[in-house]
Chain A
Amino acid sequence: MVLFIVFVGLLVLRPIYFIIDRSTLNNGFTTAFTDPFIWQAIGTTIVLTVGAVVLALVVGTALAWFSLRLPRGLGWMSALPVMSILMPSVASITGWIFLFSPRVGFANTVLRTLPWWSDQTSGPIDVYTTPWIILCTGLQIAAFVYLFMSSGFTGVNSDLIEAAEVAGSSKLGVFFRVTLPLVRPSLVYATATAILLALGQFTAPLLLGRNSNIQVLTTRIFTYLNSSPVDFNAAAALGVPLVVIGMIIVFGQRALLGNQSRFVTHGGKGFKAVGRPSWSGVVWIGAYALLTAVLPLLAIIIVAVSPRWSADIVPSTFTLEHFTSALNSPEILSSVKNSVLFSLTSILIVIPIGFLCSAILVYGRRFKLCQIILDFVVAMPLGMPALIFGLGFLLAYSGPPINLYGTSSVVIAVYVTLMIPFSVRLQSAAMLSLGKQYIEASQVAGANLWRTMLSVLLPLMRSAFGAAAALIFLLLSHEFAASMLVRAPTTQVMGTTLYDLLEFGSYSAVAVLALIMAAVSLVGLGLAFLLGGRGALKGL
């Protein structure tokens, strides 16, 4: 067991150690922080983070609240905000480019037919500006906030809310004095996650900011790594603040949520909508889904079937030629193959790792110290941007004693590391909800550890495995930031190929690849559903 913890610890901490180590070499800090653009980049990072977090929290919480009060027959709409997570981030940002690009964006074309902007030839929206990067990032993160908050709200025992109403509180008073405090764990968790995601946000700033030279810390790291000569030290120095903030948040989260029993609200009847169903919820959730998923997807489809991307949509010219050429393009095919292969291999590795970690965290009460260390190590990859881990693996495994650069192993190693928290979280939650009783019953019945694992624990965990596999496949087939750093010409995945195509301006191929990415995720989800049974998707 100690060996296993050391292994996981090395996997997670070695790259981080290398970032800190490299940053102190050869004036890494001096280079990075005396650069004339650095303060601007830091400023943009702060503005983008704060703006996106506030937007995500407000939108995500409001949507979660509304989703519980949907009118009868429209309950399915509560799944809509999650749909935008199914859409790969690179794909939906591509969709936004197609929609809101100042000259030929479809939405801009439509807006220019309105009297206010009829005299303009570009705009009124310019997706390549900071406010729109914030909007884009914030709306994407809102989906995660929504996920945490809606599970928080549904966990609140409706008796508690009714008790407050009977005690004479107004609806608004109940929301702020009872409901919101009760979902504090979800709120804390959602806020921390939103901050981490916004801080590490790489895709939107890179894709939208590159034209107008808007830079954040993560994109500057990328720039250092793509300049010649490559400046690893400066890149590492820029990574250090992100590492530190990540650690603080992981520690803080554990301290804040230390005593969770205070928040045990389950066991009651669960949330039941109070008051009349709200139609404004339908409008807001609909608008959100339209803006983050439906419209971008439509725009991508239109670009994919048009001869070329232009402001005018001419259905008569629609063609499938881009699909056929994509299916004949070796680089697109190999990137799809690589993505699927890397994701599946990583799942095969990270699910057992997660299982062992969860078993130690849930059942290993006798090994308190191991639990504490493991708990922290396992949370680390969630605390730091994926890009940081990409950088760390690049530094740690691209030179003696271990040189893995350009091999698929390094990509898989990064993927496994990034997915450890998700694998552990889903599986340990499942183990916790199973309780100790089934295990104890098996022990008392005379079964040894192995029989208990094989005949009792593994079968009961089946749907948790399915859920973990589904989520991990989804996240990995979309993976972009870490892949951008550890990729080599032989290990291109869908996200990195899409970026290259975008750089070349092959918008039609970009659109087709974005659609392929979405399709691959859906197939992966379907498979997990088949293998894991009905319960598999509940964990998402």
Chain B
Amino acid sequence: MSKLEIQGLRKEFAGRRNHVAVNDLTFTVDEGELLVLLGSSGCGKTTTLRMVAGLEQASAGRISIGNKVVCDTTRRVDLSPNRRDVGMVFQSFALWPHMTVRRNIGYPLRARGLKQGFKEGWIDEAARMVDCTELLDRYPGQLSGGQQQRVAVARALVARPSLLLFDEPLSNLDARLRDQLRNEIHQLHQRVGFTGLYVTHDQSEALALGDRLAIMRAGQIEQLGRPREVYENPATEFVAEFIGMGNSISLYKTPSGWASKSGQLVGRVPDVSAETANLRVRQQAIRLGTIDSLAPGEMGVEGGTIADVEYGGASVDVVVKFVDGRSVSSRIPLTGEGEHRFELGSRTTVIFSARDAKLFPTSPAGSAGTGQPAHNDVAPEQKAGVS
């Protein structure tokens, strides 16, 4: 296992408009660390992974795995995938249908001429790690999706490559299997301590698996940090939204302080040097009530109307609509007693703790979403996440 270093990595796709898929990317994955690239489709995360694997040619930049430079466009180095000593798990499993599971897992050993691996029983060891020992003599077509992906993980691991790559390995599985396999990959990483790069669009997967995670957008890293750091202190409004702060309340400055077109703003809003800003709050952090119930340190927006109530078992989702057409969604846990009643059309106030809210100034240019959060007590322990 070794360190992965990426410097100034860039990928342009020739086309009618030269599309830049990955734009000057620089990051490091330390030895034994699992880094998750998180982003929506088209953000360049898979392209990055494929460039590390050598399946895609970099337009510019340098990639090194351990002490070996596998790609350096200035020195015209570009090793083919088979000379990069990596293992990869594909979204579509990509198990060769004409080989048994044993031959599938053993393939990297044969391809790399690792006779030692056959002698020392690496195949059985890898199969044991992913709990597939009894499947070794079957064909991929006879396995379920979850089993296939376990075998694919074993195949990626078996030759003990310097680096493991995961290309959305769980997104072809159904929800329950996904959670289970996510758990297994996590445990495997704890046990084996491989260096890994993991691509996904699922935030819960990223939070659960990553030692660190990088949120990508338009070919660049928006924020890179430990999961908790990113979750609690999103660096930009884009990250905040991606990581689950779905509610946005737009504010503007008046001589007497902040105000909102949505309704009467109650509570102390920190002062930031901007004319307009968006307040981002997570669904779970919002409760509904009356202005009298406002506790110290809480903020509220008055004047909403309950527009929709959606029952969800352990909780209920209530959509509150404001006069300016914006709406806020709140997830309220259902505790057996003191049953909440939400009448459609009734007036209510949206209440949340100031600590749970993040204020993002929207720059005068109007490019909402790229604004850095204010340095204030709403986001006190803010750090620049990108290293």
Contacts and interface: CB of A to CB of B under 8 A. Distances in A.
Do A and B belong to a common assembly?
A: yes
Contacts of A211: none
A160 interface: no
A254 to B, nearest CB: 19
A455 B97 CA distance: 12
Given A440-B90, A444-B87, A446-B85, A459 B107 contact: no
Interface in B144-170: 155, 159, 165
B94 interface: yes
B96 A440 contact: no
A445 B80 CA distance: 11
Contacts of B94: 437-438, 440-441
A437 B97 contact: no
A31 interface: no
A460 B97 CA distance: 8
Main secondary structure of the interface of B (DSSP, over half): loop
Contact residue range for chain A? 10 to 19
B111 A447 contact: yes
Given A440-B90, A446-B159, A460 B96 contact: yes
B98 A459 contact: yes
Contacts of A441: 88, 90, 94-96, 155
Given A448-B82, A460-B97, A460-B98, A442 B92 contact: no
A118 interface: no
A446 B80 contact: no
Most chain-B Cβ atoms within 10 A of its Cβ — which of A442, A444, A448? Answer: A444
A440 B92 contact: no
B55 A445 contact: no
B96 A443 contact: no
A434 to B, nearest CB: 10
Contacts of B159: 445-446
B108 interface: yes
Given A437-B94, A455-B107, A459-B98, A443 B112 contact: no
Interface string A450-483: 0100011001100000000000000000000000
B81 A440 contact: yes
Contacts of A440: 53, 55, 81, 88, 90, 94
Nearest to B53: A444
B86 interface: yes
A448 to B, nearest CB: 5
Interface in A356-385: 366
Interface residues of B, number: 27
A444 B86 contact: yes
Nearest to A451: B111
Given A437-B90, A455-B107, A444 B82 contact: yes
Quick one: which of B85, B92, B96, B97 has the most chain A CB within 10 A?
B96
Given A451-B111, A456-B96, A460-B98, A443 B81 contact: yes
A442 B99 CA distance: 12
A444 to B, nearest CB: 4
B108 A446 contact: yes
A326 to B, nearest CB: 44
A459 B81 CA distance: 22
Interface string A480-497: 000000000000000000
Interface string B109-143: 00110000000000000000000000000000000
Contact of A447 (B55, B82, B88, B90): B82
A443 to B, nearest CB: 4
Contacts of B53: 440, 444
Nearest to B108: A445
Nearest to B14: A368
Given A440-B55, A455-B107, A446 B112 contact: yes
Given A437-B90, A451-B111, A455-B107, A444 B97 contact: no
Contacts of B97: 460
Contacts of B55: 440, 443-444
Nearest to A440: B55
Nearest to A434: B97
Contacts of B90: 437, 440-441
Contacts of A366: 57
A431 to B, nearest CB: 15
Given A440-B81, A441-B90, A446 B111 contact: yes
A319 B111 CA distance: 64
Interface string A258-277: 00000000000000000000
14 contacts: A366-B57, A438-B94, A440-B88, A441-B95, A441-B96, A444-B88, A445-B111, A447-B82, A447-B107, A448-B80, A455-B107, A459-B96, A460-B97, A460-B98
Interface of B: 53-55, 57, 80-88, 90, 92, 94-98, 107-108, 111-112, 155, 159, 165
